[in-house]
Amino acid sequence: MADPFKLRDYQGELITQTRDALREVNSVLLQCPTGGGKTALAAFMAGSAAKRGNRITFGVHRRELIKQTAKTFDKVGIPYGIIANGFTGDRHQLVQIASIETLRRRLDWYPRPHLYIPDEAHHAGAATWAEVIDSYANKGPKGEPSAKIVGLSATPERLDGAGLGRWFQKMVLGPSPAWLIDQGFLSPYRLFAPSMPDLSGLKKNGADFARGALGERMAGASIVGDVVKTYRELAHGRKAMVFCVSIKHSLAVVEQFQRAGYRAAHIDGDSPNRDELIAAFESGKIEVLSSVDLVSEGFDLPAIEVAILLRPTHSLSLFLQQVGRVLRPVYAPGYDLETREGRIAAIAAGPKPYALILDHSANTIDREKGGRGHGLPDDERPWSLEGRERKKRGAGGEDEEAAVTTRQCPQCFRVHRPAPICEGCGFEFPSMGRTVKELEGELQEVERKTAQVERKREQAKAQTLEDLIAIGKARGMKNPHGWARHVHNARNQKTQQRYAR
C-alpha cells in the first residue's frame, strides 16, 4: 500500500479547510465518516504542528485507542509521550497522546498545548470532556493563550440529537460514506434484518434504552438462536463481530455459537488476552468475536467481514460507529490503490468483496414498522453544529423524526432503498397504492398487507421457471422472463447452500 503518511486527495482538502477555519476561529469540528482516516488526519496535523515547535495533545477515551494511535504515530515517525495510567510518559515530547480522564486530573502537570485534538468529539458534552475543552479554550491561570482545538468525529451530534455548537465554532464536513464506497475507500455492503426484537415496555435511561432490561430482553433464547441460524445461512465461515448489550449478553451469544460448532470468543476492555484474541480472529482461528462497546468507536480491524447488531439503540452515532467497523476494506495485493478502479478491483479480489450487516436489533428499520429508524449506513445526513431539528411529539411524549425511507423484503429480509423489486432475491413489491375490488356492487378495500401476503403465496406456489414467467406476465411486468430467472436462480442458490451444509 501507499505510504501511510501520504494523505488522500480529499484528506488534503480537509486539512486545508481546517487550517482556513482556524484562521477565523479557535475551535473547529472536523467531521469524517468512520473509515475515512481520522487518525491519519490527526497524525498529519500533529506532525506538521510539532515541526513548527508547537505542543500538541491528542485526546482519546479508551486504552485501546491509545495503543492504536501510538502505532500510527510510530509508522509515520512522530515522537510522542503518553498521558495515561499504566504508561510511562515523556513530558519533553511536543506531542502527547492522552487519556482524557487522566488528562483532566493532570491539567496542571503539563504545559498547555498550542493545539488540542479530541478524538470522538461527539462526547464533548460529557463532564470530563467539557472540562478539558473549556480549560484549553480559555486563557490559562497565568495568562497563557488559549489553545486551538480541532475535534474529530464521524457522527458530530449527541445521543439526543443536540448539536455541538457549545464547544465548536465551525464545522468542516468530510465526504459522505456513499462517496467513499463509490471510490473504493470503503467496502460495499449488503444489509439484512432477519428478525426484530420485541422491546415494548422497556424503560429508558436518558435518551436510550436502559441496559439492564435491554440485555435481558436481547439475551432471550429465541433471539440468540435466530442469530446463529441466520449466520449459518448467510455468513457461514466469514469473520463476524457481534455487538451486544452487556457482558452477560455477549457470553450467552458466544455459548450458543460454540454449541453450534463455531469458534467463538468474548472480548471486552478487561480481557487480559485482547491482543491474542484479535490476532486469532484476524488469522481465522476465531470465526465469531462478541463484544459490548470495545469496538464501537475508533477500533480499526479491517478483518471484520460481518457485523451482527444485537444492540438496539436510539443513538444514531452508536449505530453508525458499529456498522462502520465492517465497512473498512481489505485490499488484495498487486493492485494500484491510487486509482478508484484499482481500489475497487482490489476489494473485489480480496477476502471481503462486500461487507455483510445482520441487523437483529432493527436499528435500520423505519420507526413506523417498529424499528429505530436510523436508515442505511451510507444515507446522506445533514450534519450541523445546531444538531438535528426537533420534530413533533408522538403519543408517548417522545420526539419523533421523519420516517427513514428504507424497505425490507418480506421474502429474503434484505433492507434496501425503496425500489419496486428487491435487489436481493427479485421479490416484486405490491403497488404502494391500495387495491380496490368490486364485489356485488360494493367497493371493498384490500389492505396492502393482505395483497402482499396473497402475492407472496402465489409466487411460492410457482414450482417451475415457466410458472414464474406466467405470474410475471399476469402482473404486467416489463421483463417477466428476467424477473422469473432472477427468482428461480435465487431459489436454486439457497437450495444448494442447504445441501452444502
User: pLDDT tens across 111-161, in order?
Assistant: 899 999 999 999 888 889 999 999 999 887 777 889 999 999 998 988 777
pLDDT at 454: 56
How far CA 456 is from CA of 143, 413, 416, 449, 477, in Å, comes to: 73, 13, 19, 11, 16
- Angle of helix 211-218 relative to helix 247-259, nearest 10 degrees, comes to 10
pLDDT at 198: 75
Q: Output the CA torsion sign for 369, 371, 377, 379.
A: positive
Strand segments (E) across 403-461: 407-408, 415-416, 435-439, 442-446
Integer Cα distance of 148 and 136 in angstroms: 8
pLDDT at 405: 64
Helix (H, G, I), strand (E, B) or coil at 63: helix
Regions of the chain with pLDDT less than 70: 1-5, 206, 220-225, 294-299, 389-405, 431-458, 461, 474-480, 482-483, 486, 489-501
As beta bridge partners, residue 96 has: 57, 81
Please, how many CA atoms are within 13 Å of residue 25, restricted to the half-sphere of its CB? Answer: 15
Phi-psi region of 440 (alpha: psi -120 to 50; beta: other; left: phi over 0): left
DSSP readout, 131-159?
Answer: HHHHHHHSPPTT-PPPPEEEEEESS-S-T
Q: In one letter, which amino acid is 482?
A: G
pLDDT at 186: 96
- Model pLDDT for residues 180-236, shown as the tens digit of each residue: 999 999 999 999 988 777 777 777 776 778 777 787 777 765 566 689 999 999 999
Integer Cα distance of 56 and 34 in angstroms: 23
Integer Cα distance of 386 and 157 in angstroms: 9
pLDDT at 492: 65
The domains located in the chain, with CATH, are 9-175 (3.40.50.300), 180-381+400-416 (3.40.50.300), 435-500 (no CATH)
pLDDT at 348: 93
Integer Cα distance of 205 and 211 in angstroms: 8
Q: For residues 336-365, b (16+ Cβ closer than 10 Å) or e, as one string?
A: ebeeeeebbbbbeebebeebbbbbbbbbbb
Helix (H, G, I), strand (E, B) or coil at 116: strand
Copy the grid coordinates of residue 48.
506538521
Which of 465, 442, 385, 336 minimizes the C-alpha distance to 161? 385
As beta bridge partners, residue 152 has: 30
